[in-house]
Amino acid sequence: MKLFIKAIRNLLGGIIALVDVLTRFSKKKRSEKEQAIVNEAAKHLALYQFFACPFCIKTRRAIYKLNVPIEKRSASEGSKYREELLAGGGKVKVPCLRIEENGQVQWMYESSEIIRYLEQRFG
């Protein structure tokens, strides 16, 4: 039964992910110089996520729209990023944004908080 629910959840997540890709907004446009600054800043960010999680899809959609090339790290079972997330952030919950700033690392959970942070910084 548990496996069946998991399969249905993954199927629905896959459909949502497909619809997401097909209906994406256009990306934010910047001058070459401005985009280079954003690209550099994005090197210090990483999104821990599951491909078919609706909260992750919502967050990836916002990232796409803001045109920030943030590395996506799959925290699926058995992955090294799952271990990293647990060790660094304290729990396996996605999405989680890893923010490295001035030698300090912050683990930001909650899709709404992540999107608000990214919009304030790159919007």
Residues that bind ligand GSH (CB under 6 A): 50, 53, 55, 92-95, 110-112
42 or 52, CB closer to ligand GSH?
52
**Sign of the dihedral through C-alpha 114, 60, 93, 86:** negative
Please tell me the distance from the alpha carbon of residue 72 to that of residue 46, in angstroms, as a whole number: 6
Cβ proximity to ligand GSH: between 8 and 36 the closer is 8
Name the residue among 60, 35, 49, 40 with its Cα closest to residue 96: 49
Question: How far, in Å, CA of 16 to CA of 70, rounded?
Answer: 21
Minimum CB separation of residue 70 from ligand GSH in Å reads 16
Bridge-based pairing state of the strands 45-49 and 96-101: antiparallel
Q: Which CB sits closer to ligand GSH, 12 or 37?
A: 12
Query: Nearest approach, Cβ of 6 to ligand GSH (angstroms)?
Result: 12
Residue with the shortest CB distance to ligand GSH: 53
> C-beta of 56: minimal distance to ligand GSH in Å?
7
